[in-house]
């Protein structure tokens, strides 16, 4: 009986997450309400609050799940990498996958701006399971850095380039494309991370 109840609870949670994912992608984070999510999934608000204390926490769980999927394929490739250039391209393949999910990329950007005004959420969002943080980036590249340039600083530059592109992409300015940003990020990493040959 308990197992059946757990399975039902898991199914309810999954269906609520799917409904939220669809609505966030279509309407945005701010415009989507808990009532709409539960109605879309066919559950009561009580079912929602048995799993999450707020829409914010649901969103963070969706982000974590999405990034885990992207990271799994990234990590397989990273295990075979032989150079800093290879690692950089693998990281940017991972980031491009996020951008290709166009609606979701916009919603994540919207949530990031929203979270920046709420200290607890800002702190949550800075954790590595929700973004490519400087420390995660440093861990990915540190074995390939030949100079004393801090890998965390390279991570910060890459994050700035990527998140700046996300803003530009959301505004649909089209001045710089992702290929340009990727090229700049790889060039920067190789410039600072590799010893210059005489």
Q: How far is CA 131 from the centre of its chain?
A: 4
Going by pLDDT thresholds of 50, 70 and 90, the confidence category of residue 175 is: confident
Answer yes or no: is pLDDT of 181 > 90: yes
Answer yes or no: is pLDDT of 198 > 60: no
Which helix (H) or strand (E) is 102 found in, with range?
helix 102-115
Spatial separation of the C-alpha atoms in residues 37 and 121, rounded to whole Å: 21
pLDDT at 185: 95
> Which region among 76-85, 94-103, 155-164 has the lowest average model confidence (pLDDT)?
94-103
pTM (two decimals): 0.80
Which helix (H) or strand (E) is 92 found in, with range?
helix 84-100
> Which region among 8-17, 123-132, 163-172 has the lowest average model confidence (pLDDT)?
123-132
DSSP 15-62: HHHHHHHHHHHHH-TTT--HHHHHHHHT--HHHHHHH-SSHHHHHHHH
Residues 6 or more apart from 33 whose CB is under 8 A from it? Answer: 55
Answer yes or no: is pLDDT of 72 > 60: yes
Q: What is the CATH number of domain 1-52?
A: 1.10.10.60
What is residue 79's DSSP assignment? T
> Which region among 17-21, 73-77, 158-162 has the lowest average model confidence (pLDDT)?
73-77
- Name the fold adopted by 55-194: Tetracycline Repressor; domain 2 (1.10.357)
Domain definitions of the chain by residue range? 1-52, 55-194
Answer yes or no: is pLDDT of 6 > 90: no
Spatial separation of the C-alpha atoms in residues 71 and 12, rounded to whole Å: 26
Task: Give the 3-state secondary structure of residue 119.
Answer: helix
Residues 99-131 have pLDDT tens digits of 888 778 889 889 988 999 999 998 888 776 777
């Amino acid at each position: 009986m308990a197992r059946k109840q757990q399975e039902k609870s898991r199914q309810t949670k999954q269906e609520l997450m799917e409904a939220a994912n669809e609505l966030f992608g279509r309407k945005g984070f701010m415009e989507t309400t808990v009532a709409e999510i539960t109605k879309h999934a066919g559950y009561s608000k009580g079912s929602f609050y048995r799993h999450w204390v707020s829409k914010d926490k649901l969103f963070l769980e969706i982000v974590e799940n999405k990034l885990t999927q992207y990271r799994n394929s990234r990590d397989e490739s990273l295990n075979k990498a032989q150079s800093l250039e290879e690692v950089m391209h693998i990281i940017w393949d991972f980031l491009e996958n996020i951008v290709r999910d166009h609606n979701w990329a916009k919603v994540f950007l919207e949530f990031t701006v929203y979270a920046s005004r709420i200290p607890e959420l800002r702190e949550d969002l800075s954790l590595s399971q929700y973004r490519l943080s400087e420390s995660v980036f440093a861990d990915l590249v540190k074995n390939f850095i030949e100079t004393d340039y801090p890998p965390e600083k390279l991570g910060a530059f890459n994050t700035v380039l990527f998140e700046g592109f996300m803003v530009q992409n959301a505004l649909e300015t089209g001045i710089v494309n992702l290929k340009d940003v990727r090229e700049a990020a790889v060039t920067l990493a190789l410039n600072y991370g590799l010893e210059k040959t005489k």
